[in-house]
Amino acid sequence: MKISISVIILTYNEELNLENCLKNIADWVNEIIIVDSFSSDKTLEIAKKYTSKIVKHSF
């Protein structure tokens, strides 16, 4: 039986760190969900390379 793993990552202007984070987990998880607090940098552009599950929420 294969275990299904989902990861939720909270972001805000994380363009410098996000790509490395997503590269490191991409092969280990079944689902990546990004919850972004309205970033003004390239965070969302980077996130879209790895998942379409992106939610915008203030925190």
In which domain, by residue range, is 51 found?
6-56
Which amino acid, one-letter code, is at 1? M
Q: CA 39, 42, 44: angle at the middle one, nearest 5?
A: 65
The distance from CA 19 to its chain's CA centroid, rounded to whole angstroms, is 9
Report whether pLDDT(1) > 80. no
Q: Classify residue 45: in a domain, yes or no.
A: yes
Report whether pLDDT(3) > 90. no
> What domain count does the chain have?
1
Q: Classify residue 1: in a domain, yes or no.
A: no
How much is the pTM?
0.90
- Three-state secondary structure readout of 1-59: CCCCCEEEEEECCCCCCHHHHHHHHCCCCCEEEEEECCCCCCHHHHHCCCCCCEEECCC
* 12-53 per-position pLDDT tens digit: 999 999 999 999 999 999 999 999 999 999 999 999 999 999
